[in-house]
Amino acid sequence: MKKITLLGFLLLIAFQQSYAHTINYTLDKMNDGEVFWQYLREGFLHIIPLGLDHILFILCVFFLNTNLKKIVLQASMFTLAHTITLGLSMYGIINPPSGIVEPIIALSIVFLAVENIYAQQVKPWRLIMVFIFGLVHGMGFAGALNDLGMPAYAFSTALISFNVGVELGQLAIIFVMYFLVSKQFSSAKWYRSKLVIPTCMIIAVIAGYWTLERFLTL
């Protein structure tokens, strides 16, 4: 019931009155290749180093298990979801109110961090929740991209390359954490009790503070 309620709430947020995306006509001087690399870079930078909330979300996805395929599967569900809402938002089909989206992004981090503390493995419903939260994060990406502006003649190119940059940033976090942390230490008896749980507790506290702060500024 809680999942259905949350999904309904998110859909209610999504299908508001549409708004026009920002066109940055100064970018029209760039050719297609320059647009692609510019927005790929912007997408990557929106994750690393600028997107601390998105970094913490990906870390929560990473820490629940040590199986790289399962981690990438969760990240893929997240990517699919944020691709959908990013595209719909930038084409003006849905209107994501940032005053509601940003607190929910922070709350999604709290949810996954707390689940990591109590859950021992990835359950099927976890993928559903990651997908739902990905829809919200996509609306957040749209806000950042709308602030940046889009070239009128290469709108689709900019949108796709920005999303690719975001994905590369996410994968960079996952693979760095896997090879430097999980692959090296996950077999140790202390891995979960001394590393995973304390880290997720810290993440939950940080994201909880963000949630409260963002709700108070509505």
- Going by C-alpha positions, the residue among 86, 96, 128, 94 that lies closest to residue 111 is 128
The pLDDT of residue 35: 84
Cα gap 1→8, rounded to integer Å: 11
User: 30-216: which CATH topology?
Assistant: Growth Hormone; Chain: A; (1.20.1250)
pLDDT digits (tens, 9 = 90+) for 163-210: 899 999 999 999 999 999 999 999 999 999 999 999 999 999 999 999
Report the range of poorest mean pLDDT among 49-53, 149-153, 154-158.
149-153
Say if CB 146 and CB 22 are below 8 A apart.
yes
Predicted TM-score (pTM) of this structure: 0.82
- Going by C-alpha positions, the residue among 20, 46, 11, 22 that lies closest to residue 169 is 46
The pLDDT confidence band at residue 26, using thresholds 50, 70 and 90, is low
